[in-house]
Amino acid sequence: MLEDQDYPKSIQFEVQTGQFRPLLDHTVRRLQDMAGMFADQVAVKRELERGGRVIYEFDSHPFKTSHSDMVLGVTRINPGKVGDEFFMTKGHIHERDDQPEIYHCVQGEGYLLLQTMGGEFQAERWTPGTISHIPPMWAHRVVNTGDRLLIFLAVFHLSAGHDYRPIEEKGFRKRVIERNGQVIFIPDNRWT
């Protein structure tokens, strides 16, 4: 006998707004939630005195069954910068070393930054329609370098787990900033 949760289900995603229904879990990350992640701490302080902006929001919908649980997530990163550094997700590595993930850029433009614990770094350029596979044991962060909302879908296993510490402590090897109207990568000095 199958249990209720073991039957196929569908949910509805609205491409224009980047929202789906039903929504089971909603998280908002403001500058105060990730203040230490931006290089320009003078700009961070100035922004926080003005109240701090929402950097991104993400929603997730776990599809739980009696055997194995997948999650669909959607993240919406606002356009903007702190100093000259573009808005981005905090970034994490999965706690389990056998857990990959798939990201799908629905709207906007930017970069997916990837990094191993050994310090190998890779950046994937994103435009609408780019789908990226994140292999197990690669930390991941998304940066919005455009002037509109960047929306991406994520598909992963609920058991993956999220470890934020390695990125909180040392960041990614490269930061993505704007200089003279250009998007450029500069080394994070914690890695040099």
Residues that bind Zn ion (CB under 5 A): 101
Q: How far is the CB of 13 from ligand S6P (least distance, A)?
A: 14
Q: How far is the CB of 134 from ligand S6P (least distance, A)?
A: 8
* 91, 139 contact by CB (below 8 A): yes
Which spans of this chain sit near ligand S6P (rule: CB under 6 A)? Answer: 58, 73, 75, 89-92, 101, 140, 154, 156, 160, 162
From the list ligand S6P, Zn ion, none, which binds 90 (C-beta under 5 to 8 Å, kind-based)? Answer: ligand S6P
Whole-number Cα distances in Å, 88 to 58, 96, 100, 157, 171 = 12, 23, 20, 23, 12
* 30, 54 contact by CB (below 8 A): yes
From the list Zn ion, ligand S6P, none, which binds 190 (C-beta under 5 to 8 Å, kind-based)? Answer: none
From the list Zn ion, ligand S6P, none, which binds 91 (C-beta under 5 to 8 Å, kind-based)? Answer: ligand S6P
Which residue, 6 or 69, has its beta carbon nearer to ligand S6P?
69
Cβ-closest position to ligand S6P: 73
Which residue, 18 or 73, has its beta carbon nearer to ligand S6P?
73
Which residue, 46 or 125, has its beta carbon nearer to ligand S6P?
125
Q: Which of 66, 67, 71, 92 is nearest to 23 (CA)?
A: 71
From the list ligand S6P, Zn ion, none, which binds 89 (C-beta under 5 to 8 Å, kind-based)? Answer: ligand S6P
- CA atoms of 111 and 105, how far apart (whole Å): 10
From the list Zn ion, ligand S6P, none, which binds 73 (C-beta under 5 to 8 Å, kind-based)? Answer: ligand S6P
Q: Which of 98, 52, 100 is nearest to 78 (CA)?
A: 52
Which residue, 82 or 154, has its beta carbon nearer to ligand S6P?
154
Q: How far is the CB of 92 from Zn ion (least distance, A)?
A: 6
- CA atoms of 20 and 29, how far apart (whole Å): 19
Q: How far is the CB of 191 from ligand S6P (least distance, A)?
A: 19
* 174, 167 contact by CB (below 8 A): no
Quote the strand ranges of 4-128, DSSP E.
12-14, 19-21, 25-30, 54-63, 70-77, 81-82, 85-86, 93-94, 101-107, 110-116, 121-126
